Amino acid sequence: MAVAALRHRVEVLQAELAAREVAERHLRETLEAKTPRGWRSWRWVGQLPALLTALAAVGALFYTAEGLAQSRDATTRQNQLALQQNQLAQSGQITDRFNAAATNLGSEVMTIRLGGIYALQRIMGDSPSDQPSVVEVLAAFLRKPSSPASPSSQSAAQDPPLDVQAALTVLVTRDPGHDSAIRVDLAGANLAGAHFVDANLDGADLTGANLDHARLTRAHLTHADLSHVNLAKAQLDLVDFTGANLDDAQLNGAQLQAARLDNAQLNGAQLQGANLANAQLGRAYLSEADLSDADLTGAKLSPAELTGAHMARADLTRANLSGSELTAVDLTDAKLGEADLTGANGSPALLSGADLDGAHLHGVHLEEIDLTGATVEHADLTDADLRGARLYGTDLTDANLDGADLTDAVFSRRPVCSPGASPAEVVACNKP
């Protein structure tokens, strides 16, 4: 009886299962009939929860990204604000440091002044935009005549005080790229004996400054104003003075070997005994300049303005003076061996006692020139104008006088040549 009951229960369950399968099949057919063709799949219905989950995830990502963007913008604004605040703080610190350093320059204690100078140097490195202000302060420190840095009792042959040299070193070794067109003003400064080696002072104002015995080897002073400056016995080898103004400058005994002075103004400059060997003086202006006893061996003065210059006893051996203006130049006892004066303009006032051995004087105008006692051996005087020249005791051995005009030239106190004599005949009949 128990077995029969169990069997009956199984049959009931099987009947219910079959009825459920029929109902499900009927429901499926009904849904497919009412659903678009592309969606007639129970698989899609089964994937609906996953699809909804994916859409929810995308929405969550978008929300998260939007939140991150807003957070990033807020962080950027905070960083910018912090940067501005930091810059303001640094600017305030620079101002405080600058004021303290400038104050220290006025101290009577050497170490305190040195500290102020080096503090200004650090400010230039930390804040390039403040460099023009630092340059002005240091230049003013060096210009101040009553400053402890510029004692009037300083000897020219001595090194400058430590603080003067320190301030100058900071000034001339700066990066000019941060100057903002400011001009270094050292007019009237007492910098005697100072070291400027490799200095960068292009365009600087050094009017009337005292640089006696200073050392400026390889310095850059292009277009600088050095009028009335004192550079006596200064070391100026290889200095670039291109376009500089050196009118009325004192350069007696200065060393200017291989210096560049192209287009420089040297009118009225004092250069007695100066060493200008191999110097570049193309288109330089040297009117009324005093170059007595100067060494211009191999110098290039082509062309140069030398009107009224004093060049007595100057050594111009192998110098290039072609095309130069030589009106009223005093070349008494000067050495012009192998010098090139081709095409020179104007007649020198004096050439008496000059050594012109092998000089190139082609086409030179030497009317009424005084060549008394001069040596003109082997010189090229072709087509030269020597009318009325005074050639007392002049040595013209092997000189080339082809085409030279010797009309009214005087070779002795009592001329003995007949009128109309050729240049060669004039030379021959007037030999002492």
Query: Which residues on adjacent β-strands are paired with residue 324?
Result: none
Pick out the chain residues at pLDDT < 50: 39, 42, 44, 146-153, 414-416
Question: Per the structure block, which two tokens stand in for 35?
Answer: 């659903």
Tell me whether residue 12 is in a domain.
no
Question: Per the structure block, which two tokens stand in for 289?
Answer: 């300049």
DSSP 286-316: -TT-B-TT-B-TT-B-SS-B-TT-B-TT-B-
pLDDT value of position 144: 86
In Å, how far are 267, 271, 284, 303, 364 from 307, measured between CA atoms? 10, 15, 12, 12, 15
pLDDT value of position 278: 98
Tell me whether residue 297 is in a domain.
no
Tell me whether residue 154 is in a domain.
yes
pTM of structure: 0.74
DSSP-assigned letter for residue 414: S
Is 349 within 8 Å of 330 (Cβ atoms)?
yes
pLDDT value of position 4: 66
In Å, how far are 89, 206, 209, 348 from 190, measured between CA atoms? 39, 10, 6, 39
| Opening angle at CA 370, ends 365 and 374, nearest 5 | 100
Number of structural domains in the chain: 1
pLDDT value of position 150: 42
Helices vs. strands in the chain: H and E counts, helices first: 6, 0
CA 225 to chain centre: 15
Mark 157-190 as b/e (b = at least 16 C-beta within 10 Å).
eeebbebbbbbbbbbbebeeebbeeebbbbbbbb
Is 244 within 8 Å of 263 (Cβ atoms)?
no
Question: Per the structure block, which two tokens stand in for 342?
Answer: 């081709």
In Å, how far are 157, 370, 398, 429, 430 from 416, measured between CA atoms? 59, 19, 21, 7, 7
- Any idea of the CA torsion for 219, 252, 255, 301, to the nearest 10 degrees? 90
Q: How far apart are CA 292 and CA 276, in angstroms?
A: 12
| Domain carrying residue 155 | 63-166
pLDDT value of position 59: 61
Tell me whether residue 75 is in a domain.
yes
Tell me whether residue 411 is in a domain.
no
Tell me whether residue 359 is in a domain.
no
Q: How far apart are CA 130 and CA 90, in angstroms?
A: 12
Is 231 within 8 Å of 255 (Cβ atoms)?
no
Omega before 176 cis (within 30°)?
A: no
Contacts of 100 (CB under 8 A, 6+ apart): 116, 119
Tell me whether residue 137 is in a domain.
yes
Is 214 within 8 Å of 236 (Cβ atoms)?
no
Tell me whether residue 30 is in a domain.
no
